[in-house]
Chain A
Amino acid sequence: MPEIASAAAAAAAPPSDAAARHARQSVVVAALAAVLPRHAILSRHEDTVPYECDGLTAHRESPMVVVLPETEEQVAAVLRNCHTLQVPIVARGAGTGLSGGALPHRLGVTLSLAKFNRNVKVDPVACTATVQCGVRNLAISEAAAPFGLYYAPDPSSQIACTIGGNVAENSGGVHCLKYGLTLHNVLKVRGFTVEGEAIEFGSEALDCAGLDLMALLVGSEGILAVTTEVTVKLIPKPQLARCIMASFADVETAGVAVAAIVAAGIIPAGLELMDKRMTAAVEDFAHAGYDLDAAAAAILLCESDGTAEEVEEEIARMSEVLARTGTARQEISRDETQRLKFWSGRKNAFPATGRISPDYMCMDSTIPRKRLADVLRAIEAMEENYGLRCCNVFHAGDGNLHPLILFDANDLDQLHRCELFGADILETSVRLGGTVSGEHGVGVEKLNSMCVQFSQAEREQMFAVKRAFDPQELLNPGKVIPSLQRCAEYGKLTVLRGMLPFPDLPSF
């Protein structure tokens, strides 16, 4: 259960036995029933259980109440009432997050914003789109398409994830190397404070007066404010995009190639690497024609976009660099259909592993680009050591690695070995000069790593910043910043050779 991060919140919460929770639930439901239609409130266990986790199923907690407001007034009313009753609030979009950011609070209200799915305005002259927070990432680009514009950040879950969720996690995507993260593409956010007061961050101008609070908000994982409407920047759809699919006989060469591309001053629109195992898994789903040759140890997708002249020049340069660094085989996408096919496997990589394994644990760390080969070799050795397979996807452009350890949760020993494997990967990443950080957010998943990555003073400073927005710590408590208590407990766990102990085990 996610712990309540502050003493104040702990004091406000009643004892955690079932009867007390039920009584509390009745009070909260009664208050909310005064401001929401009945069908917008769920409290029976049968109805709330499907909300007990997001894309990270290892952590589950049934919310006390789920609300599904339809208007901003209702959102404000929910917040006001919860604030008065000191009820924790966890906002939820599409529930596709991978770090447990939408994991409910046992005594809290899950505020689902999935009904806020309206496009408010697409302004093709200003090149902006204003949409409600529940609008799917891809839907923004679909709405902008008739004007030759699109919204650049493209996380792999873009078919389903919401822009509100993107704001909470500062989502990236394959194209973020060239086009930036969510933070670089959001102009304005409207929403509410924990007290239900309307607030606006940012501006449709290129900056706004005062401190740059948007920089805090984006990536704050729902702990500072609740987003209801987002204005994003749209950019012209590139005239042309072409993707090189390059295969390498070994991962060292792949790593050298990646560094060489960046060293040549090229900023690809996308630069993604899949290892052999991952490629085989996704080929089954995507039928993209990935090089499944036994000799291909890694596939690199390297994309150029822009005007026809820009692409021609850039593809030639990329191709030359790749050839120079010993690419086994290169294929350049013939047309848009083939280009999309090349990417479809990469974009569906995580769930596609569901085809070759009942369960997987997705790790998320960042390493210096030049150490890629070292990390992958180390992971290969770990596969032997722990007796489990591991597929790897690597945002080669920014050093963000996603090892997916395959296992069968029905076998408890496999589950245990999987955790050790994961911890070993994190330790190795750190040892090679990287961090345990990545892009999926902290949520609950990385809370322990936060204990290691930040000093007590730094964590306390982050809490103080949080309290500037939410003094009673009601918004998504227990997420992102670990409490002093948690870090103290974590520190007591045996640490071997600087190894980072594994994330909390689910209890199911």
Chain B
Amino acid sequence: MQTTLSAEFKGTRDGEAAEAILRKCVHCGFCNATCPTYQLLGDELDGPRGRIYLMKQVLEGAEVTRSTQQHLDRCLTCRNCETTCPSGVDYGHLVDIGRKIVDERVERPIGEKAVRWLLKEGLTSPLFAPAMKLGQLVRPMLPDALKNKVPAPAGARAKVWPTRGHPRKVLMLAGCVQPAMMPNINSATARVLDAAGIQTLVAATAGCCGALRTHLNDHEGGLTDMRRNIDAWWPEVEAGVVEAIVMNASACGATVKEYGYALAHDPAYAAKAARISALTRDLSELLPDLVAALRGQVKPGKVRQLAFHPPCTLQHGQQLRGGVETHLNALGFDVKVARSESHLCCGSAGTYSVLQPELAYQLRDRKLKHIEPLQPQCIVSANIGCIQHLQTGTATPVKHWVEVLDEALEEANA
């Protein structure tokens, strides 16, 4: 669609970048068909096409108010629309710019600002882990809304970290909340890789991938996070010690794969960021190697029937599909994906489940309803957010697929 940037945006980096993306949109409306919020709300303004239109209005100099801000807030940033769009509209990048521009012009109510600040500072803070521990201690006494955010404490196995060294090495991002909330995912990753002859290294100074701050519109804070991680990984990367940077949370993986894009304008980091992004792999991308190495060792016994929920950040953000199901099935599991709506977001979407609980829980329930007919022994996914969010709505155990693989390995070795 043709966009006439107002004087304010003409010639600016954000303005020109947005205009280039807007040009591709032909307003066909196909994107609405796969947008979770459009399916729930049926309002053009709550679908990608309408949001694109709202952002176009702002860039053309129209008045913008809380209304537009709220419609942009409601977007899950699942990027399902990008998968559906035949014209190649880069919606994810556009909405980042749009949100930034709108937040600069529209004041949020003080309560909203507080929550957002708490999320971006709290989740990445060193105080998060002890707070989580405390929460876990008092979990039974917490009101439901908070209890939903506090997973049950992990078992002892979660602390077991492999001790062997291997010539093949990878770096793994531990993540900001993952070590405190679901530590078993990281250790299971390390154990499974170890069984396949790969050593997992964790850079002590790496922290949040930057998604939290970026998506809460603290772009500078997000870039700082990214630079810090690049600095933390660079020695190993430069020395050629590691063959990949492995991500077991697809949301973080999607973000790290975009470090190159995010830091393209930073002369000090552009090249390094591109290199880091090029090296980044979702854990599932290593599955072909894992299958080859583990095929004889794994014999799924107790837990075999799995339902896989592909996170948006995996299937749309990283455009990776079918890998988990195919390879776990090759290892003897029986993994199925829901017959309907497996492309739709579960509603977790980072901090979305805290900021937009009504929609988040509707989507969660809708997702679980489609998974239920599969009658799985365990629901597996590839991102901590999805796992934790889905678990709050079902008694069926919800885990990271690598945890289930790790358990099967342990069973086989016992």
Contacts and interface: CB of A to CB of B under 8 A. Distances in A.
Nearest to B88: A355
B26 A49 contact: no
Contacts of B68: 46
Interface residues of A, number: 43
B2 A359 contact: yes
Given A46-B57, A117-B42, A348-B86, A157 B30 contact: yes
A96 B26 contact: no
Interface string A328-352: 0000000000000000000010111
B53 A50 contact: yes
A112 to B, nearest CB: 7
A68 B65 contact: no
Contact of A96 (B29, B50, B62, B86): B29
B88 A160 contact: no
A123 B42 CA distance: 26
B336 to A, nearest CB: 15
Interface in A339-398: 348, 350-355, 358-360
Interface stretch (A51-59, A239-247, A257-265): A51-59
A409 B4 CA distance: 11
A51 B46 CA distance: 12
B268 interface: no
A233 interface: no
Interface residues of B, number: 39
Interface string B78-93: 0000001111110000
B43 A57 contact: no
A206 B262 CA distance: 61
Interface in A103-121: 112, 114-117
Contacts of B2: 358-359, 409-410, 508
Given A142-B340, A351-B28, A354-B86, A46 B42 contact: no
B30 A159 contact: yes
Interface string B55-80: 00100001111011000000000000
Interface string B1-32: 11000000000000000000001111111111
Contacts of A49: 53-54, 57, 62
Given A159-B84, A355-B87, A112 B42 contact: yes
A46 B33 contact: no
Given A44-B67, A159-B33, A360-B26, A352 B45 contact: no
Interface in B381-414: none
B383 to A, nearest CB: 26
A201 interface: no
Interface in B119-173: none
Interface string A56-76: 010000000000100000000
- 7 A-B pairs with the lowest CB-CB distances in the bound complex, closest first: A354-B87, A115-B42, A351-B86, A348-B86, A160-B33, A114-B42, A50-B53
17 contacts: A49-B57, A50-B45, A50-B49, A57-B27, A68-B43, A96-B29, A112-B44, A114-B42, A114-B43, A115-B41, A142-B340, A157-B29, A160-B31, A285-B86, A354-B87, A409-B2, A508-B2
Interface of B: 1-2, 23-34, 38-39, 41-45, 49-50, 53-54, 57, 62-65, 67-68, 84-89, 340
Given A115-B42, A160-B31, A351-B30, 15 more contacts: A50-B49, A50-B54, A54-B29, A55-B27, A95-B29, A95-B49, A112-B42, A112-B43, A157-B28, A160-B28, A160-B32, A350-B28, A352-B87, A358-B2, A409-B2
Interface of A: 42, 44-47, 49-51, 53-55, 57, 68, 94-96, 112, 114-117, 134, 136, 138, 142, 157, 159-161, 285, 348, 350-355, 358-360, 409-410, 508
